[in-house]
Amino acid sequence: MSKLYKPDILIVGSGFFGAVLAERLANISNKKVLIIERRNHIGGNSFSEVDKKTNIEYHKYGTHIFHTANQKVWDYINKFTEFNNYRHQVLSKHKSKVYQMPINLETINSFFKKNFSPIEAEKFILNKTKKFKNYKHKNFEDKAISQIGKELYNAFIKGYTQKQWGKKPKYLPESIFNRLPIRYSYNEDYYQQTQYQGIPKNGYKDIFINLTKNKNIRIKLKEKYNLKYKIKPRYLTIYTGPLDSLLNYKFGKLEWRSLSFKKEVKKTRDFQGTSVINYPDLKNKFTRVHEPKHLHPERKPFNSNQTLVIKEYSVKNDNEPYYPINDEVNRIKHRKYKLEASKIKKFEFGGRLADYAYYDMDMTISAALKKFEQIKKKIK
Ligand code: UDP
């Protein structure tokens, strides 16, 4: 890259938020975009790659299922990839027995050794939860118990949540529990309301390559950013990283939960029969076990006599942020950072890290498309 290169737009970070904005700005607004990325690859935490030993594609930062009910997002992303027909299911292993997740009629019948119909199961759970319906403290634990009762909570939710967040569920916001439905039917799809679902046929990396395929988009990997960054764009910088490090932690650190993974090749055709099994018991230090070949049943390695198995551990590590710990203290801190960052001239921000929000991929794409609509008027 020539030293004199001056982009119209500088984008910091190449996850969905940055890559979608780069695509729009280059293709629609005909602007010169420079993306800088601190890692040695594009795609943020959605990145996937093929394991060399097994030829199995795996998601480097944990299994990512693309799912959305947003027609606009679905139409948009399908211009850059084709999806397979994968539909996500999750199982949960409690005391050596495997149950269906999210909790559904099969989970309830199997756990309580019953043969309830949907209406009977609903009454049965209501009986267990009615005394908790008017819960006073709005936190994850109270919310969960008021929805599913103590037994199911203790078996499937309490330990998992504690391991995942490194905090007692009493100290977590109830909004996290809203991600998990309870169903009185045998529907075992993990994502119920969403119409569209799948895994990119050529892997996630391919989407990012296609999004940024434009002679007006340049990418510089292994490049760090700070507010004194040497390259000043003509119009705008779009920053997608955490706001606390950007502003030198002046209001203190925002807390994040991070993940670590242990990969292993097993000499068997099929290790666990599905892509993800959750481990809610505290005696297992890991939270889930991934077997990525199940994400691509259409591919050749699906039938090979070896498989890749990845254990997921939840850890505290502010350098590799995955999940925002969206409690009151952190939210207040984030608000201060947001206000401060919005005062910076020729500067925009967004995405899961900058917004400190538990976005799924489709929400991030939707946010990026909206951001583009806002900024395109300013850069004419
Ligand atoms: N959760 C749980 N048990 C499970 C699955 C999820 O207690 O078997 C809780 C846990 O607190 C988790 C939250 O529900 O953080 C959201 O789960 P989701 O599967 O949406 O998490 P993600 O896939 O985004 O990590």
- Let me know whether 114 and 171 are in one domain: yes
C-beta 235 within 6 A of ligand 1: no
- Let me know whether 375 and 228 are in one domain: yes
- Let me know whether 33 and 166 are in one domain: no
d(CA 160, CA 286): 9
DSSP state of 342: T
Task: Please report whether residue 163 resides in a domain.
Answer: yes
- Let me know whether 156 and 217 are in one domain: no
Question: Which alpha helices (DSSP H) does 153-307 contain, by range?
Answer: 159-165, 204-211, 243-246
- Let me know whether 216 and 171 are in one domain: no
C-beta 157 within 6 A of ligand 1: yes
pTM of the model: 0.94
- The Å distance, Cα 178 to ligand 1 centre, comes to 10
- Let me know whether 115 and 168 are in one domain: yes
How many C-beta atoms surround the C-beta of residue 298 within 10 A?
A: 11
SS (H, E, C) 68-95: ECCHHHHHHHCCCCCECCCCCCEEEEEC
The total number of structural domains that make up the chain: 2
Last residue in a domain, options 138, 164, 179? 179
pLDDT tens digits for 245-290?
999 999 999 999 999 999 999 999 999 999 999 999 999 999 999 9
Mutating to test ligand 1, I would choose from 89, 157, 363 the residue with most ligand atoms within 8 A of its C-beta, which is: 157
pLDDT tens digits for 206-260?
999 999 999 999 999 999 999 999 999 999 999 999 999 999 999 999 999 999 9
Task: Please report whether residue 152 resides in a domain.
Answer: yes
pLDDT tens digits for 31-75?
999 999 999 999 999 999 999 999 999 999 999 999 999 999 999
- Let me know whether 241 and 329 are in one domain: yes
Last residue in a domain, options 159, 179, 199? 179
Q: Ligand 1, atom 11: nearest CA belongs to which residue?
A: 161
* Domain CATH for 225: 3.40.50.720
Task: Please report whether residue 318 resides in a domain.
Answer: no
Task: Please report whether residue 71 resides in a domain.
Answer: no
Task: Please report whether residue 113 resides in a domain.
Answer: yes
Task: Please report whether residue 189 resides in a domain.
Answer: no
d(CA 250, CA 189): 44
Please list the active-site residues.
179, 183, 257, 288, 312, 358, 360
User: Cα 42 to the chain's mean position, in Å?
Assistant: 16
Last residue in a domain, options 162, 179, 196? 179
pLDDT tens digits for 346-372?
999 999 999 999 999 999 999 999 999
> Which domain, by its residues, includes 331?
9-42+212-254+325-379
- Let me know whether 22 and 149 are in one domain: no
d(CA 324, CA 360): 12
- The Å distance, Cα 358 to ligand 1 centre, comes to 12
Task: Please report whether residue 320 resides in a domain.
Answer: no
- Let me know whether 154 and 239 are in one domain: no
- Let me know whether 250 and 108 are in one domain: no
- The Å distance, Cα 199 to ligand 1 centre, comes to 20
- Let me know whether 360 and 224 are in one domain: yes
Task: Please report whether residue 230 resides in a domain.
Answer: yes
